[in-house]
Amino acid sequence: GLDANVRYQWEAGEIGMFTAGVAASWTREYEITDINGNRFDGAGKRNIGTTIGRSLPQWKVNYSLGWLKDRHSAFALVRFID
C-alpha cells in the first residue's frame, strides 16, 4: 500500500490563517486465506457474510480545511472511503 499526507498553510492578512490538507491511504492487496486454503484479495471488498477477514477499503482519503483568527477557529473534514 501507500500512505501520503500533504498540508499547506497560508496567511490571508486580516482574514486570518488557513490550512488545507489531504491524507490518503491506498491498499494494493489484502491477502486472505479461507479455511479451505483458497487465497483471495480482500482489498476494496466489504467481506459481508464472512468472518475470515475484516472489511478493508482500497482507498481512504481525508480532505481538510481549517481557519484561525485570534481566538476564533473553524475546521471542516470530508472523508472519502471506497
Prediction pTM value: 0.79
Give the span between the Cα atoms of 13 and 36, in whole angstroms. Answer: 64
Low-confidence ranges of the chain (pLDDT < 50): none
Give the list of residues 6+ apart from residue 72 with CB closer than 8 angstroms, or none.
16
> pLDDT per residue over 46-57, tens digit each?
666 666 777 788
Q: How far apart are the first and last CA of the chain?
A: 14
